[in-house]
Structure 1
Amino acid sequence: MRILLYTKNESVYSKSGIGRAMKHQVRALSAAGVDFTQNQHDDYDIVHINTVDPSSLTMIQSAKRNHKKVVIHAHSTEEDFKNSFIFSNQIAPLFKMHLVHTYKKGDMILTPTPYSKGLIESYGITKPIVAVSNGIDLDAYKKDEVKIQAFRKYFNLSETDKVVMSVGLYFERKGIHDFIEIARHFPHVKFIWFGYTSPSATTSKVKRAIKEKPDNVILPGYIAGDIIKGAYQSADLFFFPSYEETEGIVVLEALASKIQVLVRDIGVYEGWLENNKNCYMETKNEMFILKIRELLNHDCKDTIKAGYEVAKSRSIEEIGQQLKEIYERVMGL
């Protein structure tokens, strides 16, 4: 059994969750001893598709012509397409039609969470759908003093500076406007949002929030490697106010980094994140403000250890074994 991990145009997605999911799959299959290739010209039994762009549709059609099995990883939904960039809400119904058209071509559909599985089932798709996490490389987020110092030096942080961080594109649904607004209530705390989206694609609400941001909000753009890993390990709080996700790889990265986590209480976390146990959850800005103040003052119990256990249950090694079992099941369809 050989798997073709179809990663053409991977560079286009490298700064998104889908791009990181592709990299995780390479490591997961390697860890599980699964025979795979990323060369579409090699022989294979199953092609694993992660995107819904034209090249992926062409690959699916080629696989079908050659009587190969097709696994489609459903990272996208209409719900997480909405409220992202300019005109995304107007385009969303057409995007949903495209998703349904593409997903129906799979012999099996994978998606990161039971929540996203439920959404895809609601589209009327009857192909087998399995929820399997994108996974997290625990070793990559182990505490490393060199990375911590690289982060603090890059942002010229003193030993006493408190930091609240987040990671994501400048999408409205990510809640970056709320992140900026909440930062106003903590003028002596650094609020750092890693990520970037071209101003030409951002909504007016996000544009206005960025233009009027207070001085304690730092927007360094997309930064990879030691600096962002050092941020995860050094910051006082990971605050992710996203309104919609299919999983949220950055949340797994935070949990693996053993940082305190605060997220918005939304459906995607049901069944794996629990308020006051392995993270903290709120819904409205005024409640976020109160909770951040408590967390920065250490007036809440520490949920870091329990949060790390969640990350361990979604380790690359665990996901590799799950994918191996799924491929074996697909071969029998």
Structure 2
Amino acid sequence: MRVLNYLELADRLDRSGIGTSVDHQRQALADTDVDVLTTPWTDGHPGWAVGGNLAFDDPVFREYDVAHCNMIGPGSVAVARHATRNDIPLVLHAHVTREDFRGSFRGSNLVAPALGEYLQWFYSQADTVLCPSEYTKGVLEEYPIDAPIRPVTNGVDTAPLEGFESFREEYRERYDLDGMVVFAVGSVFERKGLTTFCELAQQTDYDFAWFGTYDDGPHGSAEVRKWTSDPPENVTFTGWVDDVRGAYGAGDVFLFPSKVENQGIVVLEAMACGKAVVLSDIPVFREYYEDGHDCLICSDEAEFREALARLDANPDLRERLGENAEETAREHGLDRVGERLIETYEGLV
């Protein structure tokens, strides 16, 4: 079976959660009988996607049995129309929703309603829509999406995390971190709980570090510009780090007070590293994780403060949560991702 696994704007999304998820899909399929194509274009140039009717002529497209698109732009629209015209099964992966688009950058809240209408139209073209969680499935059903929807975990790739412990001293010294370090990983957005993260730092004495890029220019949200330009004394925004293992090595308690998530790959990465994880009380985290078993789930700042104090005072609790978190992460291995994708493709061909 030849499957197109297409990520539009791949070069711009390589540091994003979407890019990571697509990497996981392709790695999961690498050891199977599926022959994966990563571009639909015979000349490799996405410019054909906006070339009018020529974009839908067969000579422009390579041959494949299933089309699987992971983004929502003009190239993906061209692939979707080509698939429909040629009776090729079409899988659209819903990494983007109106809800998780809000709070991402300046003006995103204003654009979100129109985006929702577009996503309803775009995803409804699919023979099957894949999404990261039952929570996201429920969101899409409310749009509503006129296509079958199947949840499949984004998965976690543990290979790039191996040896993270060896980076501990280097990264703690580099960013002047000491004691129980509370940390986050990934791009800095208000939607990810930036204000809560910083306000908790102001209310406690722990060192806080956020390992990830941020936009403090005109496209950045007011909250991002505010906190990154003048952070609390005990907060470090590292920007891009050379090796993500340094982040997981340096940190002790992974704090992720996100407002909206479709799954949260960084949570699985922290769990795979055996870190104690503290999460916001949102549906997707309740779906995948168990409070008091593999994480602590908090509904407001007071609960977050109490959770951090408990973990600081009780290293055994940190260790137990971390051990259980590793078990949870194993349930999201790439083998599970591959099985689910193949089931989807075979069900359509």
- For normalisation by structure 1, the TM-score amounts to 0.92
Residue in 1 aligned with 2:230? 212
**Partner of 1:105 in structure 2?**
125
Residues 154-193 of structure 1: matches in 2 within 5 Å?
154-157=174-177, 161-193=179-211
Among 81, 91, 99, the alignment partner of 1:79 is: 99
Whether 2:279 is the aligned partner of 1:263: answer: yes
1:309 CA drift (Å): 1.5
1:285 is aligned to 2:305: no
Distance 1:245 1:190 in 2: 22
1:139 paired to 2:159:
yes
CA distance in 2, matches of 1:199, 1:136: 32
RMSD: 1.9
Aligned position for 1:48: 68
Partners of 1:316 and 1:144 lie apart in 2 by 20
Report how far residue 204 of structure 1 moved.
Answer: 2.1
User: Are positions 1:235 and 2:225 aligned together?
Assistant: no
Question: In the aligned structure 2, how far is the partner of 1:217 from the partner of 1:53?
Answer: 36
Q: Which of 210-219 and 244-253 deviates more? A: 210-219
Instruction: Tell me the SS of whatever aligns to 1:183.
Output: helix
SS of 1:200's equivalent in the other structure is coil
Alignment partner of 1:248 out of 261, 264, 269? 264
Q: Secondary structure of the residue that 1:36 maps to in structure 2? A: strand
Going from structure 1 to structure 2, the CA distance change for 1:90 and 1:240 (only over 3 Å counts) comes to same
- State the Cα distance separating 1:270 from its structure 2 match: 2.6
Show the counterpart of 1:297: 313
CA 1:258 to 1:143, structure 2 compared with 1: closer, same or farther past 3 Å? farther
In structure 2, the gaps of 5 or more residues are 43-61
| Partners of 1:110 and 1:277 in 2: CA distance | 28
Deviates more, 1:278-287 or 1:7-16: 7-16
Per-residue CA deviation, residues 120-165 of structure 1 (Å, 9 max, x unaligned), is 01112131100000111122223444433443343255xx533111
Deviations 1:233-276 (A, max 9, x none): 34111100100011111111111111110010101123321110
- For structure 1, the residue ranges without an aligned partner over 5 or more in a row are none
- For 1:321 and 1:32, locate their aligned partners in 2 and report how far apart those are by CA, in whole Å: 9
Displacement of 1:207 in angstroms is: 2.4
Contact 1:7 1:38 in 2 (8 A): yes
CA distance in 2, matches of 1:19, 1:190: 26
Moved more, 208-217 or 190-199: 190-199
Deviation, structure 1 residue 218: 0.8
Instruction: Note if contact 1:142-1:256 (Cα within 8 Å) is conserved in structure 2.
Output: no
Partners of 1:144 and 1:268 in 2: CA distance: 27
Query: What displacement does 1:299 show?
Result: 6.2
Structure 1 residue runs of 4 or more that deviate by more than 4 Å after TM superposition: none
Q: In the aligned structure 1, how far is the partner of 2:143 from the partner of 2:316?
A: 41
Taking CA–CA contacts closer than 8 Å with sequence separation of 6 or more, which of the two structures ends up with the larger relative contact order?
1
> SS state of the match for residue 215, structure 2?
coil
- Hey, what's the Cα distance between the residues in 2 that align with 1:170 and 1:215? 18
Contact 1:294 1:300 in 2 (8 A): no
How far the C-alpha of 1:293 sits from its partner, in A, is 1.7
1:106-125 equivalences in 2 (<5 Å):
106-125=126-145
Instruction: Give a deviation string over 1:296-318, Cα, whole Å, max 9, x none.
Output: 22267221121112111110111
| 189-198 or 46-55, larger mean C-alpha shift | 189-198
Aligned partner of 1:88 in structure 2 is: 108
Q: Which deviates further from its counterpart, 143-152 or 55-64?
A: 143-152
Aligned counterparts of 1:117 and 1:76: Cα–Cα separation in 2 = 12
Task: Please state whether the residue corresponding to 1:5 is helix, strand or coil.
Answer: strand
Which amino acid is 2:303 matched to? M
